[in-house]
Amino acid sequence: MDHSVQFQNVSKSFGKTRVIEDLNFEIKKGERIILLGPSGCGKSTILRMISGLETISSGELYLNGELANDIDPGDRSIAMVFQNYALFPHMSVRDNIAYGLSINKVPKSEVAARVGDAISVLNLDGYEDRLPRELSGGQRQRVALARALVKRADFLLLDEPLSNLDAQLRGQARKELVSIHEMYHQTFIYVTHDQIEAMTIGQRIALLSEGNLQMLDTPDRVYRQPANIFVAKFIGSPSTNIIDIRYDAGRVHLADGQSFALSEAWVRQIEKSGVRNLVMGIRPEDVLLVTEAADQAPAVKVKIGYVEDYGNRIGYYFQSGSQEIVSIMPERVPGIDQQSYWQVLPAKLHFFDADTTQSIGYPEEY
């Protein structure tokens, strides 16, 4: 059995409110998976169902191939780190880390070995005898992680463990988490609402919205081939431009009356999908602005309305009909305020069914 966690038609309600809707997915043994989505979408609830802290209203949860709905939390091989990890204030770093092992009657020598190991892996050497209040936020967070690591559980569940850290520490902690996983290879299930954490830590991302799984795939695929409009808009900042278009006989017609010819690959894909009512997506960083339209490439004339300088890149805003489109360029384009074209790169486009919001898929060559 390769799957370490398997949800089969799992739903969860609190009273009459259903918060998880018919969830089906599998987590591979030893993989690093991220549960990502806006606040309130059900991430913590899913994690708590895996840990056994929350019951399952209907459906089946399997852990290591075994039906786990009714297995006690204490009998699941699970370690958890929460956003608000509570350390024992009167205990030293060493005792905080060892506490769970000691009460579970792990032999003393084994406790010492595991604790020593965790202290060195998490760079807490020299801090063993300090109390939590004598540590920085980042160090306290590492103690909480060490306490989870020493359990050597099959599953390491982390619920927004970095959200109390400042941006610089978070960046550092992301790298540490990845290297710790590569050392211990536990099944690593990580909840966050932060897309950067998801993209950088995850081997796969499960993106959720209102209790429904929207997409489960590698960060690269989630970014490049979003399964629907929600995924396209959630990942990336600024958000993917979603543009009302009319598709007709191989051409895309924009709201302002301009049109351009699509590549043959896209025409074939659209024909194959049978979808006629389309919307087009394109990421801001893929909207290429130029001052001279190339002869061969499709391009439409645009008028830049607003410019934002982010220091390391420039945001250009323009209208297409009543819709605003943003382009993010690596640097200022001289002369762009006098004359500008949006040169459309077919491989960077996305098309969605306007009725279902689902992607119509991608041509193989893209």
42 binds, among ligand ADP, Mg ion, none (CB under 5 to 8 A by kind): ligand ADP
Region of 234 on the Ramachandran plot (φ > 0 left; ψ -120 to 50 alpha; else beta): alpha
Of 44 and 263, the one with the shorter C-beta distance to Mg ion is 44
φ, ψ dihedrals at 110, nearest 5°: -65, -40
Please state the closest distance from residue 155 (CB atom) to Mg ion, in A: 17
Would you count residue 42 as binding ligand ADP (CB under 6 A)? yes
8 A C-beta contact, residue 24 and residue 213: yes
Question: Which of 62-74 are b and which e, b meaning 16 or more Cβ less than 10 Å from the residue's Cβ?
Answer: bbbeeebeeeeee
- C-alpha 128/C-alpha 151 separation (Å) is 18
Would you count residue 214 as binding ligand ADP (CB under 6 A)? no
Please state the closest distance from residue 283 (CB atom) to ligand ADP, in A: 25
39 binds, among Mg ion, ligand ADP, none (CB under 5 to 8 A by kind): ligand ADP
Of 45 and 241, the one with the shorter C-beta distance to ligand ADP is 45
Would you count residue 269 as binding Mg ion (CB under 5 A)? no
Complete DSSP assignment for 139-153: HHHHHHHHHHHTT--
Please state the closest distance from residue 165 (CB atom) to ligand ADP, in A: 18
Of 44 and 320, the one with the shorter C-beta distance to Mg ion is 44
Region of 116 on the Ramachandran plot (φ > 0 left; ψ -120 to 50 alpha; else beta): alpha
Angle between helical axes of 93-103 and 137-149 (0-180°, round to 10): 20
Would you count residue 44 as binding Mg ion (CB under 5 A)? yes
Amino acid in the structure at residue 223: Y
Range in contact with ligand ADP (rule: CB under 6 A) among 43-51, 101-109, 267-275, 346-354 = 43-51
Would you count residue 192 as binding Mg ion (CB under 5 A)? no
Among 23, 41, 61, 279, binds ligand ADP (CB under 6 A): 41
Q: Please list every residue from 12 through 31 that binds ligand ADP, using CB under 6 A.
A: 14, 19
- C-alpha 157/C-alpha 49 separation (Å) is 11
- C-alpha 216/C-alpha 25 separation (Å) is 8
Range in contact with ligand ADP (rule: CB under 6 A) among 41-49, 98-106, 109-117, 223-231 = 41-49
Would you count residue 139 as binding ligand ADP (CB under 6 A)? no
Would you count residue 45 as binding Mg ion (CB under 5 A)? no
- What's the token pair of residue 202? 């995850």
Range in contact with ligand ADP (rule: CB under 6 A) among 33-41, 134-142, 273-281, 324-332 = 33-41
Torsion of CA 344, 349, 352, 358, to 10 degrees: -170
Would you count residue 228 as binding Mg ion (CB under 5 A)? no
Q: What angle is formed at CA 116 by the lines to CA 114 and CA 118, rounded to 5 degrees? A: 70
Of 16 and 105, the one with the shorter C-beta distance to ligand ADP is 16
- C-alpha 272/C-alpha 270 separation (Å) is 5
Write each residue from 44 to 83 as x if it is in contact with ligand ADP (CB under 6 A), else as -, in one continuous string. xx--------------------------------------
Range in contact with ligand ADP (rule: CB under 6 A) among 32-40, 55-63, 148-156, 255-263 = 32-40
- What's the token pair of residue 52? 């056994």
CA 53 vs CA 72, 80, 145, 210, 282: distances in Å: 9, 11, 19, 21, 41
Instruction: Give me the residues that bind ligand ADP (CB under 6 A), please.
Output: 14, 19, 37, 39-45
Instruction: Give me the residues that bind Mg ion (CB under 5 A), please.
Output: 44
